[in-house]
Structure 1
Amino acid sequence: MTTAYNKEPSIGIRGRDQDVCRGYAAIGTVLQSRLQNNTKSVVVIECYPGVRQQEIMEGLRPYLHPTDVIEAEAAAIDAAKINGMVERYLTDDRVFGYMAPFHIEEMYDPHKLAKLRERVEAVPEGTVIVIGFGASLVTHGDLLVYADLARWEIQLRYRSKEFGNWLAHNEDEDMLRKYKRGYFHEWRMADRLKRSLFQRIDYYLDTNAQNDPKLALWDAVLDGMEQISRQPFRLVPYFDPGVWGGIWLESKLFLPNKEHPYAWGFDGVPEENSLYLDFGSVRMEVPAINLVFLQPKSLLGERVYSRFGAEFPIRFDFLDTMGGQHLSLQVHPTTDYIQTRFGMPYTQDESYYILDAKPGAQVYLGLKEGVAPEQMLNDLRKAERGGGSFPAEQYVNVFPASKHDHFLIPAGTVHCSGSDCMVLEISATPYIFTFKLWDWDRLGLDGKPRPVHLDHGAQVIQWDRTTSWVERELVGRVELVAEGNGWREERTGLHEFEFIETRRHWFSEPVLHTGNGSVQMLNLVEGEEAVVESPDGMFEPFVVHYAETFIIPASIERFVIRPSGPSVGRTIATIKAFVKG
């Protein structure tokens, strides 16, 4: 199957071209024009952790000519005190922590903040700039600029050692530990602050690309988000190498060569993906989670929003083992365990949709009949200590995997994809909670043993999910739902234990889809091209290509998908996921 997969999908924002500019010269001119009639002006630049603050100041200084520049983080409490506060939430584990409840105010010294406010007030005239993560605590100012960047860009800055975590001075620390501190503490605190400022922001600053900033009037961003919440759209995908990576993503999606093969493709994870917003000739990159925060009801649906809050509960991603290696043998925590041990409200139920596979491909799923838990755990511990390979096939079922098979994996089920599979993973959003039980005697790309979490895994393995139950409940669950002229709809899962439902449509003629009170995430799993249309003209026709994931907001009550381009006259297929009613 060939594909015209779009690696840089963008969304045109209508009617706001004049409210966006690019480059420090243009940005400085815009800001200065807002301040020119003031004898004294205070500009607050609130920053998401990881923003290049020095670059911003160097870029703006020639245009704003500040009388004083105040670095807000000078008023933060000592780094040692911060570490002491968050230590119990980060734990000693290399990967997992506990969701920390902190707000930015707790990280600042009131007396030091008061000194900075006095410094602001002491300037008789001119422009004062207050910048940093927490700058908005110092003063409201005359203008509030919010400087933002995508979660994936933060991770790249961690990896390059350009940045560590906020005030942690840990640039050289293990990447997994930096990510953990971001995930469980820093980003949660930053998102709480960001959301609290939505009614105060004047301008939004995109800082993803080095020395290439874009500034938008905040009202233009709000308008853009409202427009997006009423049309189909795609997230900006990214792809990452891994020790078990294959060749499918690189060869089929025409990705650039890497030293190590691609293992993951993230094309449907709003917490980490971003959105490209085209305001005329200026393209802004915005974290996709901002759309969830700003348009939760229109995007998610009121029923889903009332259940999950402003959080996108569905996730699509790619796992490529074609010509690669097995994934780690793993298990995900039960809901009770993830709530009590990690502070998460729901767990990582998932499924493997086989987008492609070579002959002989396999999926490991569930335990064999009569497995003795202590014997299996003893063999796993022995393998972890280097006492020989774990005999996986002695304990775990192995099923043949073919294109368009769908394997259901409720939390607590032992599983992994074998080599030579291209998996579209459809799951709930808490995406880092994978307890590796065994990793096939290999090291990570960093040369270190990949973390194995056998103690956690032993607490959540559902030992009664054995061969007969798995064959009955998790494999080959395809049920005809409806059919018509040139189309049929099938229910392929997920399991009744899981809150996500999936439906597959095979069609050579246009198919009408109706809303069900939930956001819907889809992927074109067969066929080169399709077009999504609105029967009532609510949105412009939206073209999708093979393997592209796309989102239909809950605000869209009816939409039609039909084959287009080279797929006209052929039978093609989509898989879609939504939250059960």
Structure 2
Amino acid sequence: MPTGDQACVQGWSAIAERLRETVAKRAARKTVLVVECYPGVDEHAVLGELQARLQPALVLSAADALLSPQAVDTLVSPFLGGNDPVFGFLCGLTMPQFFDPEKLEALRRQVAAQPTGLVLVVGCGARQVHEGDVLVYGDLARWEAQLRFRRNEADNLGAHNRSLSAGLQYKRAFFVDWRVADRWKRPLIAKWDFVLDTNNPQEPKLAEGEAVRRGLRHAVSRPFRVVPFFDPAPWGGQWMREVCNLDRSAKNYGWCFDCVPEENSLLLGFGNRAFELPSLDLVFEQPRALLGEKVHARFGDEFPIRFDFLDTMGGGNLSFQVHPLTEYIQHHFGMHYTQDESYYLLDAGAGAGVYLGLQNEVDSAAMVRDLHVAQSGGASFPAEKYAPRWPAKKHDHFLIPAGTVHCSGADSMVLEISATPYIFTFKMWDWGRLGLDGKPRPIHLDHGIANIQWERTKDWTRRNLINRFEPLGSGDGWREERTGLHACEFIETRRHWFTKPVPHHTQGGVNVLNLVEGRESIVESPDRAFEPFVVHYAETFIVPAAVGPYRIQPSGPAEGHECATMKAFVRT
């Protein structure tokens, strides 16, 4: 970040000193320091570290004003989907509903009764106790929150449940906690005096709120990447381990979220320090500059495009699955748009294939019967009897509008270019295998069968969903093709092949790109509006709507070789 060297400090002692200086500059008889926290932040540790160093006259924990865990469980229960291990309903709850008004009032009276000195209030919802003379926001990336669930280090909002399975904690966070916390966070961003980064508890950092906001404004003026994360899977492969130079001790890597701002984080550089915060903060703070006016008008402050990787190279098939239709996801889960997808083949082994669509003259009753038989422990589901398996090779593009039966086969490296909803997969057959926890993965036959579009048979699929490449234009050293997505989907995808600079323009909407061929390319502004941005093979990057014109050309080891990008944007 420009001129950000002094805006960030690291370590609890330096953090306390910066806060002490801020309090001293107020020259007030009494200062209330509020540390508002996102769910998953270790409030107890934050309170303890600051209390030990600041020696406040009064210390309060916002958690003391929460409803009882039993009352919170009752409050959130309607949104947790009963016994369903995966799905609930997006809640409309707000932070104050988790608190006992009488307990809150008691804490407020304690603050009011303290005549002098420093008052420290810490926790989720802390600003209900006092608005704060100094407001610190303790933020946390959702991926780190998930890792804390897995390590039994964090509870859900208002609960004492860290011994619950990580999957059930994630479900509750997805449908309840994160919705509540984001509603509470949005209006506070403009009021942050400081932001606290405890994603790495051993290296806490504190940045000035205005420096963070300035950094977010800077981010939407140029291309950038979010921080990817990688995870193993029952079907996971070996391609990402080699190409992305990942930890060799892991059994496999099946997933990579390379552009899912709901889950990924963003790094702001303050001097030699990398300050981590959720990518969603950028979406909340700069939605129009990032998304563009028309995209923002349609989706609000949600990032609608998702790029992720599915690695089955040396692994197994994905589950045989389908995604919900728009009205189904709205009525059953509270999402306002659905999980339309596509598979772009970054790489493929010999014999790779994709199950997509249904066989001509498919017997729907027989297929449903065989799915139920397989699920009840009978004969394995004969997938190829009901769904054609299409040969797949590098740079093929398979389009998957919601309601289309599909499954990526083994020995494929898929770049999934899709709408942002990402957990709404109805697995109908998982090839009789166990998950990484040694248990069968959840199957949702009723949901899946209710959404299958039976008219999407082999002939229809061939005409509409496979390699729908259309040349659009060319220039000196480059050519452009439309590759999708299907007319039912709101995302447009373009592929550019180039050996020389190729011109692009955001046309007022956010662009998401991946370098799908070539070792390295450079993204530049024709009028030097931003610093040149280097991307490497298989890296995804975002070009905010506000950028306008930009160009991409091979660089470094790729000079003199043909490169290719896949670009996605929202049709408007």
TM over 0.5: yes
User: Counterpart in 2 of 1:7?
Assistant: none
| Cα distance in 1 between the residues matched to 2:20 and 2:335 | 45
| Residue identity in the other structure for 1:296 | P
| Cα distance in 2 between the residues matched to 1:553 and 1:398 | 38
1:40 and 2:5 correspond: no
| Cα distance in 2 between the residues matched to 1:153 and 1:322 | 27
User: Counterpart in 2 of 1:69?
Assistant: 59
| Cα distance in 2 between the residues matched to 1:359 and 1:281 | 46
Shift of 1:527: 0.3
User: Counterpart in 1 of 2:429?
Assistant: 438
Structure 2 counterparts to residues 460-499 of structure 1, below 5 A: 460-499=451-490
- Asked if the contact 1:72/1:133 (under 8 Å) is kept, the reply is yes
| Residue identity in the other structure for 2:491 | I
Shift of 1:165: 1.2
| Cα distance in 2 between the residues matched to 1:421 and 1:502 | 20
Aligned counterpart for 2:256 among listed residues 265, 268, 282: 265
| Cα distance in 2 between the residues matched to 1:301 and 1:180 | 31
Shift of 1:266: 1.1
Look up the SS of the partner of 2:190 in the other structure. coil
| Cα distance in 1 between the residues matched to 2:136 and 2:318 | 44
| Residue identity in the other structure for 2:5 | D
User: Counterpart in 1 of 2:304?
Assistant: 313
- Asked if the contact 1:334/1:460 (under 8 Å) is kept, the reply is yes
Aligned counterpart for 1:187 among listed residues 175, 178, 181: 178
Shift of 1:514: 1.5
User: Counterpart in 2 of 1:10?
Assistant: none
| Residue identity in the other structure for 1:539 | F
User: Counterpart in 1 of 2:418?
Assistant: 427
Instruction: Describe the superposition over 1:250-270 as per-residue Cα deviations: whole angstroms up to 9, x where unpaired.
Output: 011110024431100111110
1:521 and 2:509 correspond: no
More moved, 317-326 vs 74-83: 74-83
Q: Percent identity?
A: 55
1:569 and 2:560 correspond: yes
Instruction: Describe the superposition over 1:307-334 as per-residue Cα deviations: whole angstroms up to 9, x where unpaired.
Output: 0000000000000000100000000000
Structure 2 counterparts to residues 364-513 of structure 1, below 5 A: 364-513=355-504
What is the count of residue pairs matched by the alignment? Answer: 569
| Cα distance in 2 between the residues matched to 1:202 and 1:567 | 45
| Cα distance in 2 between the residues matched to 1:502 and 1:411 | 17
For the aligned residue pairs, the C-alpha RMSD in angstroms reads: 0.9
Aligned counterpart for 2:19 among listed residues 28, 31, 37: 31
| Residue identity in the other structure for 1:132 | G
| Cα distance in 2 between the residues matched to 1:307 and 1:98 | 21
- Asked if the contact 1:242/1:260 (under 8 Å) is kept, the reply is no
| Residue identity in the other structure for 1:419 | A
- Asked if the contact 2:512/2:542 (under 8 Å) is kept, the reply is yes
Shift of 1:155: 0.2
Structure 2 counterparts to residues 4-153 of structure 1, below 5 A: 13-36=1-24, 37-92=27-82, 93-153=84-144
| Cα distance in 2 between the residues matched to 1:109 and 1:72 | 11
| Residue identity in the other structure for 2:175 | F
- Asked if the contact 1:241/1:258 (under 8 Å) is kept, the reply is no
| Residue identity in the other structure for 1:300 | L
Look up the SS of the partner of 2:343 in the other structure. strand
More moved, 344-353 vs 60-69: 60-69
Look up the SS of the partner of 1:555 in the other structure. helix
Aligned counterpart for 2:150 among listed residues 151, 159, 162: 159
| Cα distance in 1 between the residues matched to 2:23 and 2:541 | 42
Look up the SS of the partner of 2:360 in the other structure. coil
| Cα distance in 2 between the residues matched to 1:571 and 1:390 | 43
More moved, 77-86 vs 188-197: 77-86
| Residue identity in the other structure for 2:6 | Q
More moved, 79-88 vs 565-574: 79-88
| Cα distance in 2 between the residues matched to 1:383 and 1:345 | 33
Cα pair distance change 1:229/1:449, threshold 3 Å: same
Structure 2 counterparts to residues 242-321 of structure 1, below 5 A: 242-321=233-312
Look up the SS of the partner of 1:18 in the other structure. coil
- Asked if the contact 2:323/2:402 (under 8 Å) is kept, the reply is yes
| Residue identity in the other structure for 2:247 | P
Instruction: Describe the superposition over 1:209-245 as per-residue Cα deviations: whole angstroms up to 9, x where unpaired.
Output: 0131111111101100000001000011110001000
Look up the SS of the partner of 1:198 in the other structure. helix
Aligned counterpart for 1:173 among listed residues 164, 167, 170: 164
1:327 and 2:318 correspond: yes
Shift of 1:30: 1.0
Shift of 1:199: 3.0
Look up the SS of the partner of 1:35 in the other structure. helix
| Cα distance in 2 between the residues matched to 1:158 and 1:140 | 30
- Asked if the contact 1:331/1:412 (under 8 Å) is kept, the reply is yes
Shift of 1:182: 0.3
| Cα distance in 1 between the residues matched to 2:443 and 2:79 | 20
Shift of 1:61: 2.4
- Asked if the contact 2:67/2:158 (under 8 Å) is kept, the reply is no
Which runs of no fewer than 5 residues in structure 2 stay unpaired?
none
More moved, 184-193 vs 25-34: 25-34
- Asked if the contact 1:516/1:557 (under 8 Å) is kept, the reply is yes
| Cα distance in 1 between the residues matched to 2:147 and 2:52 | 29
Cα pair distance change 1:104/1:352, threshold 3 Å: same
| Cα distance in 2 between the residues matched to 1:373 and 1:81 | 45
| Residue identity in the other structure for 2:7 | D
- Asked if the contact 1:362/1:398 (under 8 Å) is kept, the reply is yes
Shift of 1:341: 0.5
1:338 and 2:329 correspond: yes
Instruction: Describe the superposition over 1:28-70 as per-residue Cα deviations: whole angstroms up to 9, x where unpaired.
Output: 1111112122222111110001101122123222331111210
Shift of 1:372: 1.7
Look up the SS of the partner of 1:293 in the other structure. helix
1:354 and 2:342 correspond: no
- Asked if the contact 1:32/1:63 (under 8 Å) is kept, the reply is no
| Cα distance in 1 between the residues matched to 2:22 and 2:184 | 25
| Residue identity in the other structure for 1:23 | G
For normalisation by structure 2, the TM-score amounts to 0.98
- Asked if the contact 2:323/2:425 (under 8 Å) is kept, the reply is yes
- Asked if the contact 2:11/2:203 (under 8 Å) is kept, the reply is yes
Which runs of no fewer than 5 residues in structure 1 stay unpaired?
1-12
User: Counterpart in 1 of 2:544?
Assistant: 553
- Asked if the contact 1:104/1:134 (under 8 Å) is kept, the reply is yes
More moved, 249-258 vs 285-294: 249-258
| Cα distance in 1 between the residues matched to 2:170 and 2:529 | 40
- Asked if the contact 2:51/2:59 (under 8 Å) is kept, the reply is no
- Asked if the contact 1:243/1:260 (under 8 Å) is kept, the reply is no
| Cα distance in 1 between the residues matched to 2:510 and 2:471 | 22
| Cα distance in 2 between the residues matched to 1:548 and 1:178 | 31
Shift of 1:371: 1.1
